[in-house]
Structures are given as structure tokens and as C-alpha cells.
Amino acid sequence: MGRLSVSGSRFYLFCVFLVYPLLHNWVYSFFDFKLSNLNEASFVGLDNYRRVFQDPVFWISVRNILIYGVISVPGQMILGFAAAYALNRADLWSKLFRTLYFLPVITSWVVASLIFTFIVTDQGLLNYLIVDVFHLADERIGWLSDPWKAMIVLSMLGIWKGVGWAMVIYLAALQGVPKDLYESADLDGCGPLQRIWHITLPSIRSTNFFIQIMLIIGAFNVFTSVFLITKGGPLHQTEVMLTWMYQKAFTEYDLGYASALSYVFALLIALLTAIQFKWNRSN
């Protein structure tokens, strides 16, 4: 987004044309606005926002996004980096592995969600591997009947699908690390881990930050996998922000409330991104 920086006068235009539509849309969130009463929606002030903060499912959805983010973002970054670091060469094997790791990225969210649903059913592949092949548990696990396990399944899907993407971005960055830095490190007798810690990671800091920002925004926008795999259940326990907003808007047609929800979500993402930028600058 750095390239989008605008000069002073443009900044005001930017505000006018960015903020105005958002405000216009924002108006919805102050009305008791349902598909059944479009023409007689009544002004309710901050009532929808008050409802958001008193809504237990809203807080569950925030909790679930945090779980999902805390597992899937570092998971994708660490594995993506490891893959890129190991495969940063031009031989045939590396190319083959890179292609294989990228396949989940080109699998759509819908198809990936269907595959995972099938794998985690009671008599599915995952329970078979855990119980009958590796004997890690005595009986089959109900992956989707418990909210914590279900969130883990969803996070694993996020990692499975995202590692290849992180790997490709890291690979591009690794190609920019000057070779002579590694050579001088070898002369100083650095081990492989020290090489990564002292040379590679500092050289790709901006890429690292970019990936982190993108993945966190992506985590907040998770929708399809939750919608298809757990449907937010059992009893709304695995609801995330977008599935809850979608439920309110297009199942219950409570559009005013859903608008308020969407603004609170957008604000949370903006806030989190701003904090990260600030943190990054001060380091």
C-alpha cells in the first residue's frame, strides 16, 4: 500500500470520496432496517451498536478470530519461510516441491472446505490415521462437535491452504539477499540457525511485515471455510465475524444490525493494522 501514498491536496479528495460512501452506508447502522420494513425503517440512534456489544455471539466471534489468527498466521509464516529457505535453489527437486506446495493455494476455498469436511467426519481419514494407524487416541474424535477442536480444524485448513502463498512471497524476498553476506557468515563460522537469525531474517524484514499484515487481514476475513464446515455451530460456538454478520444480514434480514456489525469489524481490522504499522516503525 506504500505506493498509494498521496500528496496533500489529493489527500482531501481521497477523504471525500472514500469517507463519503462509507458514511452514507454507515447511515444504515443507525436504523432498525429490515428487509421487511424497508420503507418505514425507524431511526434508532446507537441502538444497533449497543446491541453489538451486548451480543454474546459477537464476543464469541471475536474470540474465535483470535484463536484462528494466533494459530494460522504464525503457522503459515513459519512453514512458508521454512519451505522457501529450503527450496531457494534452481534444481529440479526444489522446483517440484515448490509446485506441490503451491497446489493447495490454487484449490478454491469451497473445494478445500469440502475436502476437509470429508476428512474430519467421524469415520473419516483423520480419525482413521489417529486411531487405527498411529494409535494416538483410543476412540474416534468428534472434530466438529467441540468448538475448540473445530477451530483447530479450521485453522489447520487455513495453514494448509496458505503455506504455499507465503512460500512464494518469501522466495522472491530471499532471492534479494546478497550472497556475499552468507559467504562472510560462513567464514565467521556461523551455523545454519545463526545464519538464518543474523542474516536472512534481518534482510527480509519488510517482506515479513507485509506477509504478517496480509495474513492477519486474511484471518479476519475468513468466511467460506467456517460457513461450509461448521456453519458456525454447534450453537454459534464457532461463529466468526463474517459468518455472524452474514447470518444476521441474509438469514435474519436484520440489515441495520448487520451494518453495525460490519462497521465494528472493519474498525477492528483498521485498528489492528494501524497498531502493527506503528509497532513496525518504532522497531
Partner 1 sequence: MKMVYRIIKMVVLTAGAVISVYPLLFMLTTALQPSTLLFEYPPKLLPSQLTGANFAEAWTSQNFSIYMGNSVMVTAASFLLIFVLSSMLAFAYSRFRFAGKSLTFAMLMGALVIPGLTLVIPQFMLIRSLGLFDSYWGLITVYTASAIPFTTFLLKGFFDTITKEIDESVSIDCGGSFRLFLSVILPLSKPAFVPVTIFNALTIWEEFPWALTIINDPLKRTLPIALANFQGQYTTQWGIVFAGSLIALLPVILLFVFLQRYFIAGITAGAVKG
6 binds partner 1 (CB under 8 A): yes
Could you tell me if 271 and 216 are in contact, meaning their C-beta atoms sit under 8 angstroms apart?
no
249 binds partner 1 (CB under 8 A): yes
Least distance to partner 1 from the beta carbon of 214, Å?
A: 6
The residue (of 43 and 128) whose beta carbon lies closer to partner 1 is 128
105 binds partner 1 (CB under 8 A): yes
Q: What are phi and psi of 191, to 5 degrees?
A: -80, 170
Q: Among residues 31, 58, 143, 165, which is the contact residue for partner 1, using CB under 8 A?
A: 165
| Identity of the amino acid at 252 | E
- d(CA 144, CA 122) in angstroms, rounded, equals 9
Among the residue ranges 59-67, 106-114, 201-209, 232-240, the one whose residues contact partner 1 (CB under 8 A): 106-114
Q: For 15-162, where are the E strands, in sequence order?
A: 31-32, 42-43
Interactions with partner 1, residue window 29-48 (CB under 8 A) = none
Q: Does 137 bind partner 1 (CB under 8 A)?
A: no
**DSSP string of 194-219, one letter each residue:** HHIIIIIHHHTHHHHHHHHHHHHHHH
Q: Does the footprint of partner 1 cover residue 22 (CB under 8 A)?
A: yes
The neighbour count for residue 160, using CB atoms within 10 Å, is 19
Can you tell me which of 46, 110, 201, 235 binds partner 1, judged by CB under 8 A? 110
How big is the site for partner 1, counted in residues (CB under 8 A)?
75
